[in-house]
Amino acid sequence: VLLLTLKPAEFKGVKSEGMLLVGDQQKPQKVQGLLKAGDGSVADGTAVECEGAKTLVTDNMDLKIFQKLELKVLGDGLSVTYKKTMALKAGGQEVRAERVKPGSNVR
C-alpha cells in the first residue's frame, strides 16, 4: 500500500511525496511485511477506505494529522483507529499485512 496524498515533506534532506506502509512486528523476532489489498486482484490506484467511516478526499494531508491514526494488524486484516477501530479495505477487499502477527504496528 503506497500513500500519495500526504503533503510533500523533507526527511533527512530528501523530499518525500508519499510513503510505503509495512507491517512491523518487533517480537518474538523483528519482521516486516508488505501490505496488500485482498487476493491481488485489486487494481493499482484503488482508494483505501475505512469500513464504516465517511470518506473525505483531501489533497496534501499534513503528516501530523496522519500520525494521529493508529494502524494495527488485527487478525487477518488491517485496522485503523481514530475514535473507533475500523477495517481498512480497497476495492471491497481487506488490506492485509504479509508475514507479521496480529497486534503488530503498521509504519
pLDDT in tens, 38-69: 888 988 888 888 888 887 777 777 778 778 88
Domain ranges of the chain: 2-106
Say if strands 84-90 and 48-50 run parallel, antiparallel, or are unpaired.
antiparallel
Q: Is the pTM of this model over 0.95?
A: no
Burial of 11 (0-12, 13-18, 19+ CB in 10 A): exposed
**In whole angstroms, what is the distance from residue 90 CA to residue 73 CA?**
15
In this prediction, residue 19 carries a pLDDT of: 66
Question: What's the rounded mean pLDDT across residues 25-37?
Answer: 86
Task: State in words which class domain 2-106 has.
Answer: mainly beta
pLDDT tens figures, 82-97: 778 888 888 999 888 8
Burial of 72 (0-12, 13-18, 19+ CB in 10 A): middle
